[in-house]
Structure 1
């Protein structure tokens, strides 16, 4: 198995790379030319580093990159700066998901590949009509209008839900929704739920980035776990 990770230089992506390297998996990562990555990655033969801006890549280039990959993970997100939140590309995550899926379709693998997308608990799973309060809907609508990354996360998940869907012959997916992200440096117990168990706006929980990375890695490596959550949008909380 060879795994492509985008967003690998981010706070969660680095944990995911380390989780998979520790399991002796072969990995390709796409990182910005200016991204800071651990020095140890540079000398790891299991890791192939591709420097480039994914927002500028075309489908032919991506098809070549993924030619030997059979699992995919996105930890892409917007930097929490004025430029990162309000600057271009405002559809960074959506465009990357669509690009990779188009490349997978062109590659036409013999069996379906896995695609794991890190998202946000502020995004509802409309496949199962999650119930939220009117106040929650109003706040999310305001966030969606004023803060572009919210809309980007929603559109990225919707691309997998609606365009790829549940019965695609070549692509299977899971969208992971953490609650308020915190930094911890070892994996702890965590809980998984099909839907939020509390309001992400008015009563948020916590999820450590390393736990998100651990769950993503386990989904990629464990076919039984994958079968349980395939085509769903599980919410992950620290226990």
Structure 2
């Protein structure tokens, strides 16, 4: 199995890359030309690094890149700067998800590939009609209007839910929703839930990035776990 990771230079993407390499899996990553990555990655025999801006790539180029991959993870996020939040591309994640999925379909794999999208608990799973309080609805609507990454996260998951769908023979997907992200050095106990068990706005929990990476890595490697969560949007909390 070879896994393609986009967003591998980010805090969670780095953790995922490290965990898959530690498990002796072959990994391919797409990172911006001047991204900061561990020096050891440049000499790693199981890691193929592609220095490209994914927002500038076309389907033909991506189709060639995905030709030998059967698992995909998108850990992209907007930089927490004024330019990153309010500048272009405003649909960074959505466009990347669409680009990769179109490339997979053009490749026409003989069996279903795995696609994991890292998202946020602030994005509801509209397949489940998750209920939130009126106050939270107002706050989320304001965030959606004022902060472009919120709408981007929603549209990215909607692309998988509605465009790729739940019965696509070529692409199976899971959307992983962490709560407030924190940094920890080691994987710790965490819990998984089909829907949030607390308010993402008024009573948020915590999720360490290394735990998110661990869950995604396990999804890639454990078919029983994959079958449990495919087509869903599990929420992950630190215990």
Same fold (TM over 0.5): yes
Query: Where in structure 2 are the equivalents of 1:72-151 lying within 5 Å?
Result: 72-151=72-151
Aligned to 1:196: 196
Deviations 1:75-94 (A, max 9, x none): 00000000000000000000
Matches within 5 A, 1:1-239: 1-239=1-239
Superposition deviation, residue 48 in structure 1? 0.1
Aligned partners of 2:118 and 2:73: how far apart in 1? 8
Residue 67 of structure 1 aligns to a residue whose secondary structure is: helix
Query: Secondary structure of 2:80's match?
Result: coil
CA distance in 2 between partners of 1:168 and 1:227 (Å): 14
Separation of aligned partners in 2, 1:15 and 1:27: 13
SS class of match (1:176): strand
Taking the aligned partners of 2:184 and 2:45, their CA distance within structure 1 comes to: 27
Deviation readout 1:145-167 (Å, 9 max, x if unpaired): 00000000000000000001100
Moved over 3 A (4+): none
5+ residue gaps in structure 2?
Answer: none
For the residue of structure 2 that corresponds to 1:78, the secondary structure is coil
Question: Normalising to structure 1: TM-score of the pair?
Answer: 1.00
Distance 1:185 1:93 in 2: 27
* Superposed displacement of residue 34, structure 1: 1.1
Which digits, 9 at most, give the CA deviation of each residue in 1:29-55, with x for residues without a partner?
Answer: 000001000000000010000001000
CA RMSD between the two structures:
0.3
Deviation at 1:175, TM superposition (A): 0.1
Distance 2:89 2:186 in 1: 33
Rounded to whole Å, the distance in 1 between the matches of 2:227 and 2:67 is 24
**1:98 offset after TM fit, Å?**
0.1
Q: State the 1:60 CA deviation.
A: 0.1
Write out per-residue CA displacement over residues 67-111 of structure 1, whole angstroms, 9 at most, x where no aligned residue.
100000010000000000000000000000000000000000000
Helix, strand or coil at the partner of 1:94: helix
Which secondary structure does the structure 2 equivalent of 1:198 belong to?
A: coil
Aligned length: 239
Deviations 1:183-211 (A, max 9, x none): 00100000000000000000000000000
Q: What TM-score, normalized by structure 2, do the two folds share?
A: 1.00
